[in-house]
Every structure is written in C-alpha cells, then in structure tokens.
Structure 1
Amino acid sequence: MALSSVAAALEGPRTMRRHPASLLVWGAFYWAALMLLWVLLYVAFGEEVRRDLAQTHFTADPKEVLDLVKHLGGAMALLILLAAAICAVLAGAILRSVLHPEQSRAAYLRLGADEVRLFVVALITWLAALFVTAIPSGLLTLLTATVAGAGASGLAGWIAFIGGLAVIGLSMWVGVRLSLLSPQTFAEGRINLREAWVLTHGHFWGLLGMFVLNLFMAVVLTPIVFWMFGGLLTGAIALIGGGSKLFVLLGLLANLLIAPLAFTVQTVILTAGPARAYRQLHPDI
C-alpha cells in the first residue's frame, strides 16, 4: 500500500479537468443551496437577531458559542443541519466522481443512503473539531487571561505559546487520523471510526503533506485565480458598458456567481485528495 502525497493532492485539479461540466453543475447546486439558506435565514431570524449576528465578533470562547446558540434557538440548529446536508450531497458527488467515475448520471449528484452517511460523518467531524480545537482553545484563552490578570504576564505568554502549539498539534493529529473517514464511509457503505483511524496508521506524514498541498491550492491559489478572473470580468463589463449603472450591476452579479464556483473548486480540491489517498491504499477499488 503506497501513498503518494503529490498524486493525491493533485486529484482535485484532475477531477475538474475530467469533469468540467459536472463542476459547473456542482457550482450551480451550491449557489441554489446558498440562496435557500439565505431565504431561510431571513425567514427564521427576525431583524433584531440578524443585526446581532452582523455585530457579533466570534472568538474561541465556548461560553460565547453556547450563549449564541441559546439566543438563536432551534433555528440555528436547523440551519447548521441544512448546511451539513448540503455539504454531504456535494461531497458525495465529488467522491463518486473519483471512486466510481462510471456513475456520471446527473453530474454524480444523488440523494440517498450514501449522502445520509456522509451527513452523519460531517456532524462527527464538526464534533471532533469542537472537542479537539474549539473547546481547548477556549480553555487556553481563559487560563491565559486568568494568569495575566494575576500579574504573571510573562508566564501567561509562555502558556499561550506552548498551549497554542499543543492545540495545533492535537488538531492536526486527530484531523489527519480521521481524514479518510468520508471516502472510507462512502466506499464501504458504513461508518467505522475505528477502521478509519487504523487505516491512516503509518501514513501520518504522507497524508499531512497531501493536506498542506491541498490547503495551499484551496486557500491561496484558488482565491487569487478567482479574484483576478473576477476583476478582469468586472473591468471588461464596465468597459463595454461605458460605466452605466446597468453594466455595473451586471459586473456585481457576475462576481456573485463566481464566488459559489470558487467555493466549489475549493471543496473539490479538499474532497478529491482524500478520496485518491483512500484509493491508493485500496488498489482493489
């Protein structure tokens, strides 16, 4: 079982090159889902709550998160579940294009048992992030503030530095060890946390290298490319329209359509990589 970090990391661009029409459909799906969420946000939350959300400065403090969820009530939980469902459907399509490329009907989009299992995996992933990243970060912030308030600012700095490294290390370790849970669940038709954990044993550094490359492409290269493309497109539309308000609005609309496509590209990069890594570790697939 050989794992190639570079080959796995480049699976996202290869997937988009093989299925350009599917990429556009995925982008349209995400755009429609985003519009639905905005409508639900407008209906579920009153004007006062929307204003509070806009003015909220989020931190890693668990108490702040719990207070926000309590303030928003069940509507927030519903929106979170809907967002997870949307991510599950999109992830299912991407995984299907990598693991079962022959199932190309409807741009690989489905709504079935695979997507339900991926929905559960998304919730498990969010819970894992809460327990290994958000809560430890909040506790570290509280401890640092308490020590600093007692007058030991030097010690507080060291606690923040060492504790921060520990939280980052823990998050990376758990994230990599569970990184193949989605493709494994999709391929095997069942959720098995223990098996997913064991599967990554001995491949930590290779998978970490893959994720570093994936994050660079998704977080650095993709925004730059789409920012340049959006700027050129807006400039071209403004030039053609001679600065008229109609063409300015068309330029803004074009950028609104580009943003969901950029997010879709990022999702493909971050989802296809682990799928290729799983396939490398299971050459019989």
Structure 2
Amino acid sequence: MSKFSASDAAFVGFRLVREHPRTVAVWAVLMTVLSLISSTITIKLAGPQLTEFMAISADKDASPETMLAVMGGLAPLMGVSLIYSLALYSVILAAVNRMVLQPGDNRSAYLRFGPDEVRQAGALILVNLILLAVYFAAILVSAILLGIGIAAGGGAIAGLAGLIGFVGVACLMIYFAVRLSFASTMTFDTGRIAIKSSWTMTKGHVGAMLGAYVLATVMAVIVYLLVMTIVAAVGVIASGGITGLGGLFEPDMTSLETFFTPIGVARAVFAGVISVLTSLIVFSPAPEIYRILKAGGAAPVETGV
C-alpha cells in the first residue's frame, strides 16, 4: 500500500507559496479586486438589510418573525453569493490542483475558466449534497436515540443518548468528508466527475489524511491570526489608536460611502492576501496526497459518478 507523510502533505501549501511567489502575488491582487467588487454588489443589493440583520442577530429579544422578515430581504444577496462562491471555489480548486499535478502548466498564473472549472463546480455540488444528506440522516438517527433515552427514563440516559448522538454525527460527517476529499482532484485529473473513485482510493488512508487536513487547518488558522495581528498593529499605528480598527474588522456596509474608506480598502487587501494563503494551505494537501498515492499505483481509474 502506498504511504505518505501526513506532516509533509500538511505543509505543501507553504512550499507552493515559496516556489510560486509571483503566482501568489497575482492571486492576491485578483482576490482583492474580487473582494471589492463583491462588497460593492452586496451593498447595492442589500447593504441596509444586512446591517439590520446583524443588529437583530445580536438582539436576544428579537422575535423570530422579525428575523424572518429581515432574512426575506436578503434572499437576492444569498442567491448571488451562492453562485459567486461556487464559481470562485471552482476556479481556486482547479488552480490548486493544476499547480500540484501540472506545475509546468503555469500560464495565466494557473487560473482558467473552462471545462475543468465547470467539472469542479459539478463535483462541489454533488459532494455537498451528499454531505447534506448524510447530515440529515445522522440527525434523524440522533433524534431517535434521544427520544429512546427520554422514554427510557430521561435524565442521565437522555443526556448520554444526546452526547452519543452529537459525537456520532460529528464523526460521521468527518469520515464522509475525508472519504470524498479526493473528488475535486480526481475530477481534475481524470476529466470526469469522480465521486465513487474518491471513496475507493481513500480507503485505508482516512487516519493519515485526517491528520494532514487537521494540521493544515491549524496552520491556516495560525497564518490568519499572524497576518491579522500584523494588520491590526499597522492599523493602530496609522490611526493613532485602537478605536480606529472598528472599520477594519466590522465594516459599515450601509452604503458605498461608508464602506470605501481607507480602512475599508485596507480590509479588502487583507481579505485578498489571507484568502490566497489559507486556500493554498487548506486545499493543497488533498492533491499532494493523491499525487503520491497515484505514483505508488493506488489510483483507481474507471469509476466516476
């Protein structure tokens, strides 16, 4: 059976940043521009409603009717955000897969928008639908267990049943997520949406893969906090005090005028840089592990959706 180092796979994102600094810079500029564009669209579609929603969410006395009424005004924004996120992550995943599996194909900074990206969108939709179905099924079973615990006497039995149900749902979701984590990479590599193939190829590697993904996530959080600390320090120096940082982390999206301030633009730059770094760190372990396993002859070939 092919082997790989979970720690090496977890740190492959840092290697990509070191080997492709120009690509990272291009991605950061593009992500900053996209951040500004998406913020503009958000404000135009539902700036005041979004501000109201945030205020009501923080109000413990807000009624469900009020919350639903405000959420209704956010429906257009949610639809646009869903499409935008699907397109964005399809392009990013394809680019990361291309960078790891086809490092020589670096034209346009590994970014494309073609058949590979369309297939990535299809794989994303299918994987999320599967995970959603698993989640609802697990919640149903957990509710049944809780009901049995209550019927059996409640109290400690019901609490134990609830705990078992919660842990079981979490473990099941993690297991399915790991088993399906090759779907993006195998879809890119084979040219067809590969859900079953991911399930087959990850068999026997769940523990090591989970370790790599957890370590990569921890590294991404550390990088995020580090960059945020640096930006906050610069912001304190530039604004003359900590009170000037409010617009950096909680922007006023009521209107374009209140958002597009120096602090607002700085926030967009911060978002662009950090999204590129964290995306490379979090998304690169899967294609790297796949590359190693495939080189060892572990890759199934026929099974797609």
TM, length-normalised to structure 1:
0.80
Percent identity between the two aligned chains: 26
Query: CA 1:77–1:251 in structure 2 vs 1: closer, same or farther (change >3 Å)?
Result: closer
| CA drift at 1:47 | 3.9
Could you tell me whether the CA contact under 8 Å between 1:9 and 1:213 is conserved in 2? yes
User: Relative to 1, partners in 2 of residues 1:153 and 1:273: Cα closer, same or farther, differing over 3 Å?
Assistant: same
- 2:295 aligned counterpart, secondary structure: coil
Alpha-carbon RMSD: 3.6
Q: Distance in 2 between matches of 1:224 and 1:196?
A: 32
Cα distance in 1 for partners of 2:80, 2:267 equals 28
Contact 1:234–1:252 under 8 Å retained in 2: no
Candidates 259, 263, 269, aligned match of 1:257? 269
CA offsets per residue over residues 177-236 of structure 1, 9 Å max, x none?
Answer: 0111111111111112111110101111111111111111112x1122112221332244
Q: Tell me, in whole angstroms, the C-alpha distance in 1 between the residues paired with 2:215 and 2:207.
A: 12
Residue in 1 that maps onto 2:288? 276
- How many Å apart are 1:154 and its aligned residue? 3.1
Counterpart in 2 of 1:181? 183
Query: C-alpha separation between the residues in 1 aligned to 2:77 and 2:270?
Result: 28
Mark the runs of 5 or more structure 2 residues left unpaired by the alignment.
59-67, 249-260, 298-305
The number of aligned residues is: 271
* Contact residue 33 and residue 86 of structure 1 kept, 8 A: no
Gaps of 5+ in 1: 58-66
Contact conserved, 2:180 with 2:199, CA < 8 A, in 1? yes
* Cα deviation, residue 125, structure 1: 2.8
Please say if residues 218 and 269 of structure 1, whose CA atoms lie closer than 8 Å, have aligned partners that are also in contact. Answer: yes
Q: Which residue of 2 aligns with 1:156?
A: 158
Q: Which amino acid is 1:254 matched to?
A: A
1:28 equivalent in structure 2: 29
Change (3 A) 1:56 1:236: closer
Structure 2 match to 1:60: none
In the alignment, is the contact (CA less than 8 A) between 1:237 and 1:250 conserved in 2?
no
**Could you tell me how far apart the structure 1 residues matched to 2:77 and 2:266 are?**
31
- 1:41 aligned onto 2:42: yes
The SS at the match of 1:282 is helix
Which whole-Å CA distance do the structure 1 matches of 2:137 and 2:33 have between them?
33
The 1-side partners of 2:47 and 2:273 are apart by 29
Question: Aligned residue for 2:253?
Answer: none
Change (3 A) 1:281 1:38: same
The CA distance in 1 between the partners of 2:33 and 2:220, in whole Å, is: 22
Distance in 2 (alpha carbons) for counterparts of 1:120 and 1:175: 16
Give SS of 2:284's match: helix
Could you say if the C-alpha distance between residues 263 and 146 of structure 1 is closer, same or farther in structure 2, counting changes exceeding 3 Å?
Answer: farther
Q: Alpha carbons of 1:37 and 1:125: their partners in 2 closer, same or farther (altered >3 Å)?
A: farther
1:140 CA drift (Å): 4.7
1:155 and 1:216 map into 2 onto residues whose CA distance is 35
Partner residue, 1:77: 79
> Does the 8 Å contact 2:36/2:268 carry over to 1?
no
